[in-house]
Amino acid sequence: MIAAAGQAQDWFKAGLGLIYPEICQLCHSRRAAARDGLVCAKCWSHVRFIRPPFCERCGLPFAGALTTTFECTNCRELELHFSSARSAVVAKSVVLEAIHRFKYSRALWFENFLTDLLVREAAPVVRGQNWDFIVPVPLHPLKLREREFNQAARLAAPLGRAANIPLNEKILRRVNPTATQTLLTRAQRAVNMKNAFAIRPGVRLAGQRIIVVDDVFTTGATTSACAQALRGAGAAEVCVWTVARGL
């Protein structure tokens, strides 16, 4: 099924070049290919990849020279249920615009751009680490019906193929139609996500290691709630990978 889904996505992406002109859909002034998500080289140059030093728990980048590991204030103040979280790039400028338009305006041509960012950073790290499944953060059925696709699942599938780790959307479900996190404080986000996710009936994760994938990591409230549900079902370890990291 994963292979079939991948072929369908490849056909869809190939068709973008026939529907949309090969011009950057961010600056609208330079040529860009559909295979690159219709993002030109100039806009690509604004992408800021996350490199050490960063918080060992949540991956928050730190501007400065550090020779020892450190944990940021956010991680010290929140009870996080994942072992670590990493993001490919900083959630700013062209990346943030592409994510917002991808999610909320069905600008699906940005999928190649966003998945490329995630795969090029995450796949070399997770490949060969004996992870059992990649689990995308699920949408509530009402939100899925409204949006018509789960952006986290669309981003997770190429990573699964690149890292040879099975994608599993049948483990975790969203049981509460939570309010958007965008305007909430760190404490409010944690409360908003409390009991938002549950394991599907009959699922048992006896010592399995899970990677949770989402588009953006801000405080970690959403992915931590996912990790809590997964660990409650027996997962031995849960790590998180996202395309972008809010600062």
* 76 found inside a domain: no
- The tokens describing 91, both together, are 């959630």
**CA 19 to CA 12: how far, in whole Å?**
10
pLDDT reported for residue 9: 57
* 15 found inside a domain: no
Report the CATH number at residue 212: 3.40.50.2020
* 2 found inside a domain: no
Which domain does 92 fall in, by range? 50-56+82-245
**CA 141 to CA 187: how far, in whole Å?**
25
Instruction: Please check whether residue 242 is in contact with residue 213, taking contact to mean a CB–CB distance below 8 angstroms.
Output: yes
* 43 found inside a domain: no
pLDDT reported for residue 72: 86
* 93 found inside a domain: yes
pLDDT reported for residue 13: 53
pLDDT reported for residue 2: 46
pLDDT reported for residue 74: 79
* 199 found inside a domain: yes
Number of folded domains that form the chain:
1
Q: What is the mean pLDDT of each run of 10 residues along the chain (247 residues)?
A: 53 55 92 93 97 91 75 83 97 97 95 97 96 97 94 98 97 84 69 86 94 95 95 97 95
pLDDT reported for residue 70: 78
